[in-house]
Amino acid sequence: MSEPLPLDGLVVLDVSSFIAGPAAAVVLADFGADVIKIEPPGEGDPHRQNYTSPNYPRREGPRRENQVNFPWQLDGRLKRSISLDLKKDSARPVLNRLIERADVMIVNFPPPARERLKLRWEDIEPINPRLIYCSLTGYGETGPDRDRPGFDITAYFGRSGILDAARYEGGPPGISLPAQGDRATAMTLVAAILLGLRRRDRTGQGGWVGTSLYANGVWANGTSAAGALVGAKLPPRQPPDRPRNALTNLYRTGDDRWLQLLVVRDDRMWGVFCDAIGRPDLATDPRFTDREERKTRSLELVRELMPVFAAKTYAQWEAILSAAGIPFGVIGRLADVIDDEQARHAGIFADTTNPEVPRTVNNPIRLGFAQPRTAGPPPAVGQHNEDVLRGAGFSDTEIAALKKSGALG
């Protein structure tokens, strides 16, 4: 008999919306947890409708008019959905019964909403003191901005200093792509939950765990932030045509691709590099023979190198630099990543049994003793109402009364 998944038997209440909280719950579900998604009746989690944005692509092929809800496959997979209106008093006994039976609860309502709905840890602890209660905020649980709504672009990327530090000198800050900070923060939530469960294993006690998008953004920007703490000032980033070091710079290839050159040990590699790129004359050019001179004269050197890299395709340069042992970075395109052989070996994508979305993004955790579950289609809003409620001991008469009251969608 195969070994059970590591989180098999764990019951998780996902009372969160949009991306970071639900994404954390997905990782727990991948490894065996029974995740019950509690969402409002009607449209449910607003993230369900994100695919209708004109920024998301439509399906290619003969059914080009149909949109595919790939974000919800990614963040709703392997969950059971119950549609419960937490604003109604008649819904509270249902929620309490579910809390009593749960091991983990994930919430990301702002603190004022948690107070109104009585969803704070101090409200939940008397119901189930063994529960691991995990909360996510934009900026933290306390302080002047605790009530401010937080999104990854504002809290994780914006306020943390990432966007400002990453911009080129004299240019505006860039804008992050959808949910990048949310997904990184989701893994912090997973770690916090597992730490809480580890403590419960030892003591039998539950407790509060959590994080904020702001804290995760500063952690991601930690090297620069640690320097700022001791008075160090991060120099502005220079664009590729004005690098501080021409040998650790971006270069455009002849087929309009980019590669990141990373000759950090040019004291050893300078001659090898010059031979590899077909410019042995640069190795003896008096402007560049000394390592410090190559940095001081970086603008002159980059003017020599830009047309060299533009003369060949990316594939040609990949072969040349790899053969010579020259360090470089792939600037991948998503169109290439999805069919990358290395991505297959790294387990980056996962097959599903959903014909609408036959492949999705796998979580980044790899275990030598377990593989994530294969997901089918994500649940419809309230798809598992009766299944979840009967499992919690509600009778058909009670379920009918909940529907009549409007507490159950």
Q: What confidence tens digit (pLDDT) does each residue in 33-47 have? A: 999 999 999 999 999
- Position 163, amino acid: L
CATH number of 11-224+370-405: 3.40.50.10540
**Residue 75 has which token pair?**
């963040």
- Position 279, amino acid: R
Q: Where are the alpha helices (DSSP H) in 105-235?
A: 111-117, 121-124, 162-166, 180-203, 213-220, 222-229
Q: Where in the chain is the domain with CATH 3.40.50.10540?
A: 11-224+370-405
Report the run of H or E that residue 133 belongs to, with start and end.
strand 132-137
Question: Does pLDDT of 53 surpass 70?
Answer: no
CA distances from 345 to 270, 318, 366 (A): 33, 20, 12
CATH number of 250-336: 3.30.1540.10
Question: Does pLDDT of 65 surpass 50?
Answer: no
Report the run of H or E that residue 134 belongs to, with start and end.
strand 132-137
Q: Would you state the pLDDT for residue 57?
A: 52
* pLDDT tier at 52, thresholds 50, 70, 90: low
| CA–CA separation, 253 and 311 (whole Å) | 7
pTM of the model: 0.91
CA distances from 117 to 13, 22, 110, 120 (A): 16, 19, 11, 8
Average pLDDT over residues 160-172: 91
| CA–CA separation, 166 and 5 (whole Å) | 40
| CA–CA separation, 328 and 351 (whole Å) | 31
Question: Does pLDDT of 63 surpass 90?
Answer: no
| CA–CA separation, 250 and 290 (whole Å) | 22
Q: Would you state the pLDDT for residue 233?
A: 86
Q: Would you state the pLDDT for residue 332?
A: 87
Q: Is the dihedral of CA 212, 217, 220, 223 positive or negative?
A: negative
Q: Where in the chain is the domain with CATH 3.30.1540.10?
A: 250-336
Write out pLDDT tens, residues 174-184.
888 889 999 99
| CA–CA separation, 157 and 181 (whole Å) | 7
**Environment class of 285 (CB within 10 Å of its CB; exposed 0-12, middle 13-18, buried 19+):** middle
| CA–CA separation, 294 and 303 (whole Å) | 12
Average pLDDT over residues 104-121: 96
Question: Does pLDDT of 59 surpass 70?
Answer: no
Question: Does pLDDT of 337 surpass 80?
Answer: yes
* pLDDT tier at 56, thresholds 50, 70, 90: low
Helix axes of 266-276 and 314-324: crossing angle, nearest 10 degrees = 130
Q: Would you state the pLDDT for residue 61?
A: 47
* pLDDT tier at 62, thresholds 50, 70, 90: very low
Q: Compute the mean pLDDT over every residue in the chain, rounded to the nearest whole number.
A: 93
**Residue 227 has which token pair?**
């320097």
Closest CA to 28 of 367, 363, 370: 363
Q: Is the dihedral of CA 58, 59, 61, 66 positive or negative?
A: negative
Of residues 333 and 280, more confidence is placed in 280
Report the number of secondary-structure helices (H) and strands (E) in the chain: 18, 11
Question: Does pLDDT of 64 surpass 60?
Answer: no
Report the run of H or E that residue 104 belongs to, with start and end.
strand 104-107
Question: Does pLDDT of 60 surpass 60?
Answer: no
* pLDDT tier at 282, thresholds 50, 70, 90: very high
**Residue 369 has which token pair?**
């003793």
CA dihedral 141, 147, 149, 152 (to 10 degrees): -30
Q: Would you state the pLDDT for residue 55?
A: 53
Q: Where are the alpha helices (DSSP H) in 157-179?
A: 162-166
Q: Would you state the pLDDT for residue 51?
A: 63
